[in-house]
Each structure stands twice: as structure tokens, then as C-alpha cells.
Amino acid sequence: MKVKFLNMILDKKNKVFNFFFGFAISCLLLYYSIKEFDLNNFKEVINSADFTLIFLSSLILIFTVYLRALRWKFLLKHKASNNFLYKAQLVGYFGNNILPLRIGELIKSYIVGEKYNVSKSIIFGSIVLERILDMFVVGCFILLIFFINSNFLYDISPSILFGLFLIAIIGLLGVIFSFKKNNFKVNNSSKILLIINDIYSGFSNLNNKNFIYSILYSLLIWCLYLFQVFLMQNAFSLDLSLNQSLILLVISTAAISIPALPGNFGTFEGSVVYSLSLFNIVDNFGFAFILHAVSFIPYTILGLFYFIENFKFFNYRFNLYE
């Protein structure tokens, strides 16, 4: 049965609300990141960068997408093609980068479900498990931050704690408003049970071997993210310590979970500029801009390429023109 693409997207009012909410957040954080912007300093930062390290950093990020595809295969417990899952992941990133409301997640889920006839509960259960595994590793990184520097909370100012608290509150409000606009009621037991069932389906689809492999892949993915931050800070001669790199990665990860414009414009730059300000590194918009570009540009280009390559399949399944 053909699935109409537009039917997978939220209703018009909900789309408008979420778009403008994300737009406001992105503009606020983008303003924060460029309020002291200096064009000459920006040019100097870009010109002094080591583009060999930047290119290598981009290749590592592309490789992590393939690792995510392999992890997804274990979570799905399905003999899906590694190549197709890799392409689906990139098409999903492409969708997230150019379309609002993270529609790329829906696109990649449905094309894999349609291609391999995997049930929606298994697909969405696996997506939830992906997020749980990512949160688990980020949680481990947070513990590592405190292990390296047990006085971390005492070393940071109340304004910094307030900023971190504000990021968490904004993310929570985004989730609440999203549920509200989707007419999600806490007392609606059928919808709650449906969500629980999706999560249960994801877990029940795993065996011990697949679960262990999924955790190992998650650790490898996030260690590569950390290594990518290490390469990038070396490309700009920032000389960040391991703990500072971890803090930068954790804060930027938390920030991009906030509802924002497509591609996380504003939220990503704002989080990176804010993170570096904790270490008294100023005039760093150039670094934030390139750090974002090394993932945004290749993900978007490759995602678009694979979308065009498989356009006949997508058009047939989703009736894009209907």
C-alpha cells in the first residue's frame, strides 16, 4: 500500500507553530553567537585554519554515518543491506538539514520500512533505542567530565549553570509544546500504551548479541565524534584539553536537541560559542561556523545525491507529486 508523503507530516497548524518556535530559538542563539562578530577576525580565523585536518574531520563524520547504519541494522535485527541503510541515514540527514521539524527522521524510517516491509512499531522502536543509546554514551561522557575534574561544578560560575539549565528548560518546553500541538494528552492511555509498545517492540527485537554490538558501535561512534572535535580544535590551534573537548561535545549535543531551524542553524553555533566562552576563548564564531559546515555540507550533498539516485523508489512509495 502506497504511503502518501504528506500524510506523515504534522497538521498545518502544528507545523506552523513548531517552525516559528524553532525559528525564534535559532535566531536568539544565532544572535548570541554573532553579537560580537568581527569580519576581519572571522577571515583571519578561517585563513589560519588547517584544511587538511578539517577535511579529515569531515571524512570521520561521514564514516560515523556508516557506523550508525550498522548499529541500526543490529537494532532492527533484519538482514537489510548495509549500503541501503547507509544511504537512508544520509537521506534522513539531508531531510533534517533542508526541511523543518526533523522530517528526515520520518523519511528514513518509512523508506526502510517500505523497502524491507518492517513494521512501524519495530522501526520507531529502533529509533527510540538509537536515542537511548546515544543518551547513554553522552551520560558516560558527563561522568567522565566529573571524573577528570571532580571540582567542575565548583569551578564554573552561576551564570554558566544558569545557561545549562536554560538549555535543558528550552528543550523540555519544545517537547511539551510538540506533544500539546499533537493533541497528546497525558491521560490518553491508548497513545501512551502505543508509545510504550513501540519502545517494547524495539527492545524485544534485540537479542543479547545485537544489544552488545549496538552498545559497542555507540561507544565507537561517540569516541569518533570526540576525536573529530580534537581534530577541529587542532585545525584552529585552540589547544583544548580532553575535559574541555568533552564539555564542548556534550553542550553542543544538548543544544541541537532543542527545536530549531533546519540544519540546527543558530542552536549549534550558539552552543559552540557558549562552550568556548567557558574556557575564555572569545571571537570564535569562525570555529563554530566551520565545525557546523564539516557535517552540514557533506551530509546534505551526499543525502541529496542518494535521494536523486533512488528518486524512482521514493516517488513510487510516497507519491511525492500527489
Per-residue pLDDT of the chain (322 residues; tens, 9 = 90+): 444 444 444 455 566 767 787 888 889 888 999 888 888 889 999 999 999 999 999 999 999 999 999 999 998 877 889 999 999 999 999 999 999 878 898 889 888 888 888 887 788 888 888 988 999 999 999 889 888 876 665 555 565 556 556 655 555 555 444 444 444 444 445 555 565 665 666 666 667 788 889 999 999 999 999 999 999 999 999 989 999 999 999 999 988 888 788 999 999 999 999 999 988 898 889 999 999 999 999 999 999 999 888 765 555 555 544 4
- The distance from CA 53 to its chain's CA centroid, rounded to whole angstroms, is 22
Cα-Cα-Cα-Cα torsion 121, 71, 131, 252, nearest 10 degrees, comes to: -150
Which secondary structure element, helix H or strand E, spans residue 223, and what is its range?
helix 208-235
pLDDT of residue 91: 94
The total number of structural domains that make up the chain: 1
Cell 574556557 identifies what position? Answer: 279
pLDDT of residue 8: 45
- The distance from CA 95 to its chain's CA centroid, rounded to whole angstroms, is 12
pLDDT of residue 3: 45
pLDDT of residue 207: 73
169: Cβ contacts below 8 Å, ≥ 6 apart: none
pLDDT of residue 321: 42
pLDDT of residue 218: 97
Cα separation, 102 vs 319, in Å, equals 20
pLDDT of residue 6: 42
Cα separation, 232 vs 228, in Å, equals 6
Strands (E) located in 57-100 = none
Exposed, middle or buried: residue 305 (CB in 10 Å: 0-12, 13-18, 19+)?
middle
Cα separation, 223 vs 67, in Å, equals 12
Cα separation, 99 vs 158, in Å, equals 37
* Side chain identity at residue 212, one-letter code: I
pLDDT of residue 183: 42
pLDDT of residue 194: 60
Exposed, middle or buried: residue 149 (CB in 10 Å: 0-12, 13-18, 19+)?
middle
pLDDT of residue 9: 46
pLDDT of residue 176: 46
**Which 3 state secondary structure label does DSSP give 270?**
helix
290: Cβ contacts below 8 Å, ≥ 6 apart: 46, 49, 54, 232, 235, 236
- The distance from CA 8 to its chain's CA centroid, rounded to whole angstroms, is 20
CA atoms within 13 A on the CB side of 160: 16
Q: What are 102's three cell numbers?
A: 526533523
pLDDT of residue 100: 85
pLDDT of residue 122: 80
Domain of residue 71: give its range.
5-318
- The DSSP symbol for 183 reads T
Q: What are 107's three cell numbers?
A: 523519511
Cβ(228)–Cβ(61) below 8 Å: yes
Q: What are 81's three cell numbers?
A: 543491506
Cβ(179)–Cβ(290) below 8 Å: no
Cβ(187)–Cβ(20) below 8 Å: no
pLDDT of residue 2: 45
Kindly report the pTM of this predicted structure: 0.82
Cα separation, 256 vs 237, in Å, equals 25
Cβ(290)–Cβ(46) below 8 Å: yes
Cα separation, 255 vs 120, in Å, equals 28
